[in-house]
Each structure stands twice: as structure tokens, then as C-alpha cells.
């Protein structure tokens, strides 16, 4: 299926590892030029070079922290300089948390609010004017199944991802008149390096069977009985960012192997 993405420009945050990297590679296969944002400059530049060589697309790495206005400004400026704007924005930067509400300090709440919500707000303000000039575009927010079905050990993550989902819906209603489609993706269990790192830490003193640990997590939470690969999720994301999903506006899509317990 021709996704009609060749020649488009996509901005991806959290683009050097895990879901962001998988989406970057999947978009490059379709001929999309990329602006990749992440904090670790060396890894980001290496990834950008590899994708550009493998798929004959232009890839611009921007080492920045999108939690801050300065980081967002750097990303928007780099996009304008390299391509004159963007057609696609995939808001992906994020990370899990671990705390209780009674003990978590204000600065931890602020950290996740800036990362999961304000980064999306600021990037929309920065990139949407250019999308309008280009005739439209697509914004996709990577939230989480935890936005509607929380995990008890990460209340801050749950709350800020829920806020991101609501922001996405409001943004969709505001921008569709400008031919800019906004949607949300709520993944379930996706096998990212963070999951593997955590599993290795949790099993270090009990034999190191991190794969067995992850298998038990999948059996407990996902009827499909396994984690998804980042590449499986990326295929769906790239489709949502294409004209093949042209009637998809303000929606939230669960890619969770049946993990969601409600209808």
C-alpha cells in the first residue's frame, strides 16, 4: 500500500531509541525526511547517520530537552532552517515514573507535566503555523494505556498521560479546520530498552531470568500473552500519519494486545 508519505517532513521527539527510533526507521522506509530530537547527542547523531545512509532520506538530529521552552525553540528553529517547516509531528518523548502521591515532591510532578504535556503544547504552538502554510499536517501524541487504565506504582505518569490525551482531543477540534489532523496512540506493553533494563534490575538477585519476568508480565496483563515489538507499533503509527487515515480526527487508538479491560 502506498502511504503517500514520500517527500514529507516529520519531527519526532524521543527519536533515538525504542518507539521513537522504530517510527523514525519506518517513516524513512516510506521516504519521509526526518528531524529527530533527543537529549543524548552522540547516540542521536549516530542514529541519524545510520537512517540517512540506509534509506536515502535527509535526517536532521537536534539534541535538546523538550521539557523546556528553550529546547522546543531549538527544535522548531532547526526544522524551519532545514525544511521550512514540518508536515508531521510525533510527540513521543516520555518516561515512566515510580512514586506515591503522598510522598512525591512538587518538582517531580512538574518534571512529568513539562515532559508529557507542556512539550506537546509548546511544539504545537511552534510547528502548527508552518503546517498551516504547507496546507495541513498531522500531529500524533504517544500517550499510554495508563491514561485510562492506571498502574498503581506510577500515579504521576498516569495523570500526565491522561492530561496529554485530553489536550490532544482539544487540539484536534481546534486545528481540523486548518486541515491538521490530531490523534492519540495509547500503547500497552511494548518491548522497549526501558522494559528490558527494569526487568534485568528486578531479577538480578534471583537468577537473572529477565525474559521470564517479562513473559509473566505479559501473561498477567495482555490477553495476547506477549509484548509487542516497537516495530509493530511503528507500522500503525506511520499509517495514522498518512493520508490513508484521512478521516481519523481526534481519536485515541489502543494498541495493547487486549490489555484494556473496558469497552
Catalytically active residues, by annotation: 157
Cell of 221: 496483563
Provide the Cα torsion 50, 85, 13, 38; round to 10°: 60
Q: Where does 84-185 have alpha helices with state H?
A: 106-113, 119-133, 155-175
Residue 173 has what DSSP assignment? H
What are the residues facing 78 on neighbouring strands?
none
Given a contact cutoff of 8 angstroms between Cβ atoms, the answer to whether 176 and 251 are in contact is: no
Q: Which of 222, 230, 216 is nearest to 145 (CA)?
A: 222
How far is Cα 76 from Cα 85, in angstroms, rounded to an integer?
8
Biggest CA pair distance of the chain: 57
Q: Which of 73, 95, 77 is nearest to 86 (CA)?
A: 77
Find the radius of gyration of the CA atoms of the chain. Answer: 18
How far is Cα 90 from Cα 216, in angstroms, rounded to an integer?
31
Instruction: Say if residue 247 is exposed, middle or buried (CB neighbours under 10 Å; 0-12, 13-18, 19+).
Output: exposed
β 252-255/180-187 pair status: parallel
Amino acid at each position: 500500500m502506498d502511504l503517500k508519505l514520500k517527500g514529507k517532513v516529520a519531527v519526532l521527539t524521543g527519536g533515538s531509541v525504542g518507539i521513537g527510533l522504530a517510527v523514525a526507521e519506518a517513516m524513512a522506509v516510506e521516504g519521509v525526511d526526518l528531524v529527530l530530537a533527543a537529549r543524548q547527542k552522540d547516540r542521536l547523531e549516530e542514529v541519524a547517520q545510520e537512517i540517512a545512509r540506509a534509506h536515502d532520506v535527509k535526517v536532521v538530529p537536534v539534541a535538546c530537552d523538550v521539557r523546556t521552552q528553550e529546547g522546543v525553540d531549538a527544535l522548531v528553529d532547526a526544522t524551519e532552517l532545514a525544511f521550512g517547516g514540518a508536515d508531521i509531528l510525533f510527540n513521543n518523548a516520555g518516561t515512566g515514573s515510580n512514586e506515591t502521591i503522598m510522598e512525591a515532591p512538587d518538582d517531580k510532578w512538574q518534571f512529568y507535566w513539562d515532559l508529557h504535556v507542556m512539550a506537546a503544547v509548546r511544539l504545537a504552538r511552534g510547528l502548527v503555523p508552518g503546517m498551516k502554510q504547507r496546507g495541513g499536517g498531522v500531529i500524533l501524541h504517544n500517550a499510554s494505556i495508563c491514561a485510562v487504565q492506571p498502574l498503581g506504582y506510577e500515579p504521576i505518569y498516569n495523570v500526565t498521560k491522561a492530561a496529554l490525551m485530553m489536550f490532544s482531543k482539544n487540539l484536534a477540534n481546534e486545528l481540523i479546520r486548518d486541515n491538521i489532523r490530531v490523534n492519540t496512540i495509547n500503547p500497552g506493553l511494548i518491548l522497549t530498552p526501558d522494559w528490558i533494563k527494569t526487568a534485568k534490575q528486578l531479577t538480578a538477585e534471583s537468577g537473572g531470568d529477565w525474559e521470564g519476568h517479562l513473559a509473566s508480565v505479559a501473561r498477567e496483563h495482555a490477553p495476547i500473552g506477549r509484548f509487542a515489538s516497537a516495530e509493530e507499533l511503528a507500522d500503525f503509527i506511520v499509517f495514522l500519519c498518512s493520508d490513508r487515515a484521512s478521516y481519523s480526527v481526534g481519536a485515541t487508538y489502543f494498541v495493547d494486545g487486549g490489555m484494556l479491560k473496558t469497552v
